[in-house]
A and B are shown apart, each in its own frame.
Chain A
């Protein structure tokens, strides 16, 4: 309850003006403003300064902006090139999963697998690849002697000035073949495995055979998407100053599944949520 004697803080006035207050509180602030000339004057000052700043900001910069015709044509040409390339331009081999049908199919498949084999799958994660169900999850962790992880010398500013999507890159075919050979995989199809970085480039990981392993796409639970989510989480934590880069590299290299559980505070992967539209997408969510 807001008393008319208790004035609204500038922060709440600004939040109210920006539509950032919870509905109930916004109603209380509106009621107070209706009764309080003093707060209305302060609100007018806030709005006036915002208006002046926005006009100045736009007018100063707008005059410097070139026509969009050339850049638009250039972008369209680049997109055409990408669109006509049948191969996805990525280090990933994962086929696009975007339609509602595919999402639903994935959801049902994973849910079924989770219901039928959750205990055994968990066992396989914890105790290694043994038995039929365990084989589903084999390969979700790299063989430590082959892939201990490798980093490159990199500054925090470099890591944090580049979005994760930009620093991951396609693993050359020659390296891919070498990794598969190391893991004694001789009959793999391109869509059987993703050659994954143990320590992602966005965390200072090197494109080195000791930092790459074949991650199977048929992993039901701890798959490449889950690891992607972990990489992005760690990148955000490092760049927001909440985690040392070296700690992030150590944790993901030692046991990325354990790291996922640690930094997402969960024993189950949340990445399935991203396919049903409920995943969070910012460092302010589920902050470690």
Chain B
């Protein structure tokens, strides 16, 4: 079903996580909700997959989590539940589902399709003497430093890298705004030190 372009603006969800009146007034008709959900899927699939993968689940599991997130979103909108901070809501559901999947994988020892996860892609944080600070090398080193951060700090950093504002990160991770700010500052300080800046 084709919808008028001004019916719904993706950017309105990104912008400070507050909806425009247009978003708030979406009729609870399945066809309209379906349209909105597909738009959001196109917009957020990659960020959600990246975030889910960074939590240490397989590509297959991350894809399933993403599907579940958008089916839950459909039900959420259909039930007329609050549409403010939808991006935070989407990432929160993905976060919870991905962690649940990770717990299930850990308990069953049924690890990943390839056995390779981001968590297992530990990189050596110490550069070799001949390793110059090329861009790629620096990135590798920074990612290794991130792997060594407390998980909550990693999650803050990755959610911020996906564009979430502090308020949204707080809602996803159940933290206060102040804690998000402190966590990010701490992590960035570690990255700067590791980078020898």
Chain A residues engaging chain B, CB cutoff 8 angstroms:
10-11, 14-15, 18, 20, 45-46, 48-50, 52-62, 64-66, 68, 71-72, 74-76, 78-80, 82-84, 88-90, 92, 94, 96-100, 157-158, 160-163, 165-166, 236, 239-240, 274, 277, 279, 281-284, 287
Determine whether the beta carbon of A75 is less than 8 Å from that of B142.
no
Mostly helix, strand, loop or mixed at chain B's interface?
helix
Chain B positions within 8 Å of A82 at CB level: 30, 34, 71, 74-75, 78
Within 8 A of A (CB), among B158-185: 158, 160-161, 165-167, 170-171, 174-177, 181-182, 184-185
Chain A positions within 8 Å of B7 at CB level: none
Determine whether the beta carbon of B79 is less than 8 Å from that of A96.
yes
- From residue A286, how far is it (CB to closest CB) to chain B in Å? 12
Known: A10-B189, A72-B41, A83-B30. A282 touches B88 (CB 8 A): yes
- From residue A74, how far is it (CB to closest CB) to chain B in Å? 7
Chain B positions within 8 Å of A59 at CB level: 139
- From residue B11, how far is it (CB to closest CB) to chain A in Å? 15
Residue from the list B68, B121, B167, B191 in contact with A49, Cβ < 8 A: B191
User: Binary interface profile of B, 18-36, with partner A (CB < 8 Å = 1, else 0)?
Assistant: 0101001111101101100
CA distance A62 to B27 in the complex (A): 35
Determine whether the beta carbon of A54 is less than 8 Å from that of B38.
no
CA distance A59 to B174 in the complex (A): 28
User: Which of A160, A161, A274, A279 counts the most B-chain CB atoms under 10 A from its CB?
Assistant: A161
Determine whether the beta carbon of A45 is less than 8 Å from that of B197.
yes
CA distance A78 to B49 in the complex (A): 19
Known: A60-B118, A64-B53, A277-B84. A75 touches B41 (CB 8 A): yes
Residue from the list B54, B75, B77, B139 in contact with A89, Cβ < 8 A: B75
Within 8 A of A (CB), among B27-86: 27-28, 30-31, 33-34, 37-38, 41-42, 45-46, 49-50, 53-54, 59, 63, 66-68, 70-72, 74-82, 84-85
Known: A57-B161, A98-B28. 4 other contacts (CB 8 A): A56-B143, A64-B53, A90-B78, A163-B92
Chain B positions within 8 Å of A72 at CB level: 38, 41-42, 45
Determine whether the beta carbon of B45 is less than 8 Å from that of A68.
yes
Determine whether the beta carbon of B67 is less than 8 Å from that of A281.
no
Determine whether the beta carbon of B59 is less than 8 Å from that of A53.
no
CA distance A72 to B58 in the complex (A): 19
Chain A positions within 8 Å of B76 at CB level: 165
Name the residue of chain B whose CB is nearest to the CB of A166: B72
- From residue B134, how far is it (CB to closest CB) to chain A in Å? 11
Within 8 A of A (CB), among B95-113: 96-97, 99-100, 103
Q: Is B146 an interface position by the 8 A CB rule?
A: yes
Determine whether the beta carbon of A49 is less than 8 Å from that of B28.
no
Name the residue of chain A whose CB is nearest to the CB of B31: A83
